[in-house]
């Protein structure tokens, strides 16, 4: 395959999103729209990536660089159409003579197989390839006019189409692949004699045909060209990503008991024989090792889960957490920025933050690590095989030694040596017969009060 460069058009205002955030920075499946597109370009093996931005340039540039540090960012200001945007990108492609793929920063669903066929069409002799799709409802789309099954002779905008042309369901996606030299030659010839006074990249199809060039047609399913201009369309894209990722997880050996209730992210990694129960949300940066069980209503983000781990139900695993093999984290437990070593257990109603829980240590119900003093976070270290009694508070910074015991209900403010027992609570006082006498006195008062009330009546 010839070398590939990608121009990503990301200068749209996104006014219909009704947001202060640039449209391409909205997220689907835990990844920004432009992040999905740049990732697709990376996966395709693009030698160069140029992203054309408008408003919000700095934020978009930072996001793009996170996925492609070598990407070029160029600013289109003012926005004068897609043809003008492509022209702004060309200096970044100086010296490049392969295939140039033009993508849209808010169209994140394009599959690798489709993009591969686009670039292959140019590599196999066509100097321009246009991506089309058969629309269920073609209203509003530009129609692709063809001369034979594989050649695009023109693009007719809906407003300009005749009645017969409007009956055509083959529509233009806007995605194109070019021989780099042809793109350089034809871009300066695009005019702006239209109602908006803008330069449209689609006009290049007519220019190519006039020059006698072959314009290849490549088609894809309609859902792949779904772009985002509104919140409703963002929800459609989210649903499609979730469908894909759930299918992939199950195809690779995970069991999703109620797939439609499990939400994954673009970078989620799930091992074989993992079981995920209903109503689980997995955010960015999560890997789950083989044989683990994620019970209902868990929420996980930016965390590494080892093999054979049991989570939940109702567990929350927050960023920075690492759960080693065979760890158990039970119901209503929150873990944040903590390392739970192999075989450790935190089974009930506990908070473990900024901590290490050693191998096979047991943290009892209701235990909390008091990690924040109002200004700084502090670390708690629980040694291998330690036992923390229920309803204990470990006030960080503090270290519980290997094999140490902490008595239930303790507030631990100093280090506990290995093998020691620490109890930090008030002494118990028992007064024999007190409860019996108290109940008798109160019962008599209640009866007397009730009798006085009846007498008044």
Catalytic residues: 348
Q: What is the DSSP string of 356-423?
A: EE-TT-EE-TT-EEE-B-SS-B--EEE-TT-EE-TT-EEESSEEE-TT-EE-TT-EE-S-B-TT-EE-
What SS3 string covers 43-88?
A: HCCCCEEEEEEECEHHHHHHHHHHHCCCCEEEECCCCCCHHHHHHH
In terms of Cβ atoms closer than 10 Å to its own Cβ (0-12, 13-18, 19+), residue 149 is: exposed
Both tokens assigned to 40: 């697709």
Distance between CA atoms of residues 124 and 408, nearest Å: 74
CB contact at 8 A, 337 and 356: no
What is the DSSP-derived secondary structure letter of residue 230? Answer: S
Tokens 């692709």 sit at which residue?
144
Cα 300 to the center of its chain, rounded Å: 12
Q: Which residue has the tokens 């902490």?
A: 406
d(CA 8, CA 51) in angstroms, rounded, equals: 5
SS percent in the chain: helix, strand, coil, step 5: 30, 30, 40
Which of 300, 294, 289, 260 lies closest to 277 in space, CA to CA? 294
Q: Report how far residue 51's alpha carbon sits from residue 76's, in angstroms, rounded to the nearest whole number.
A: 10
Backbone angle region of 403, left / alpha / beta, with phi > 0 → left and psi within -120 to 50 → alpha? left
Rounded distance, CA 138 to CA 154, Å?
16
Q: Which residues contact 129 (CB under 8 A, 6 or more apart)?
A: 118, 121, 122, 176, 177, 178, 215, 216, 217, 218
In angstroms, how far is CA 356 from the centroid of its own chain?
27
């Amino acid at each position: 395959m010839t070398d590939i460069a990608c121009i990503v058009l990301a200068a749209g205002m996104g006014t219909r999103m009704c947001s202060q955030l640039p449209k391409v920075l909205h997220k689907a499946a835990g990844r920004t729209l432009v992040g999905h597109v740049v990732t697709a370009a990376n996966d395709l093996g693009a030698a160069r990536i140029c992203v054309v931005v408008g408003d919000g340039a700095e934020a978009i540039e930072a996001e793009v660089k996170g996925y492609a540090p070598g990407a070029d960012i160029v600013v289109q200001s003012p926005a004068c159409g897609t043809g003008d945007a492509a022209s702004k990108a060309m200096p970044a492609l100086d010296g490049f003579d392969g295939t140039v793929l033009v993508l849209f920063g808010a169209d994140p669903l394009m599959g690798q197989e489709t993009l591969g066929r686009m670039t292959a069409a140019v590599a196999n002799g066509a100097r321009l390839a246009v991506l089309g799709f058969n629309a269920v409802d073609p209203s509003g789309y530009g129609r692709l006019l063809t001369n034979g099954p594989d050649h695009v002779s023109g693009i007719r905008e809906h407003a300009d189409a005749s009645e017969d042309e409007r009956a055509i369901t083959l529509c233009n996606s806007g995605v194109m692949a070019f021989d780099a030299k042809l793109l350089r030659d034809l871009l300066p010839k695009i005019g702006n004699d239209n109602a908006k006074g803008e330069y449209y990249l689609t006009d290049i199809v007519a220019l190519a045909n006039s020059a006698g060039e072959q314009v290849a047609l490549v088609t894809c399913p309609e859902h792949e060209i779904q772009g985002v201009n509104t919140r409703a369309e963002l929800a459609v894209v989210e649903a499609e990503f979730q469908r894909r990722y759930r299918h992939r997880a199950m195809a690779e050996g995970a069991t999703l008991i109620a797939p439609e209730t499990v939400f994954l992210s673009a970078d989620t990694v799930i091992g074989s024989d993992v079981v995920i129960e209903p109503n689980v949300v997995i955010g960015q940066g999560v890997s789950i090792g083989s044989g683990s069980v994620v019970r209902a209503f868990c929420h996980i983000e930016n965390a590494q889960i080892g093999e054979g781990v049991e989570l939940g139900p109702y567990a929350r695993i927050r960023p920075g957490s690492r759960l080693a093999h065979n760890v158990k984290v039970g119901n209503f437990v929150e873990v944040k920025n903590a390392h739970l070593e192999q075989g450790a257990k935190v089974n009930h109603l506990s908070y473990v933050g900024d901590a290490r829980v050693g191998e096979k240590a047991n943290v009892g119900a209701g235990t909390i690590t008091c990690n924040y003093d109002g200004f700084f976070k502090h670390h708690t270290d629980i040694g291998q095989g330690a036992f923390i009694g229920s309803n204990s508070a470990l006030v960080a910074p503090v270290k519980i030694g290997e094999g140490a015991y902490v008595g239930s209900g303790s507030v631990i403010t100093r280090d506990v040596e290995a093998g020691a027992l620490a109890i930090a609570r008030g002494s118990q006082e028992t007064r024999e017969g007190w409860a019996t006498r108290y109940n008798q006195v109160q019962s008599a008062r209640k009866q007397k009060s009730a009798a006085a009330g009846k007498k008044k009546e």
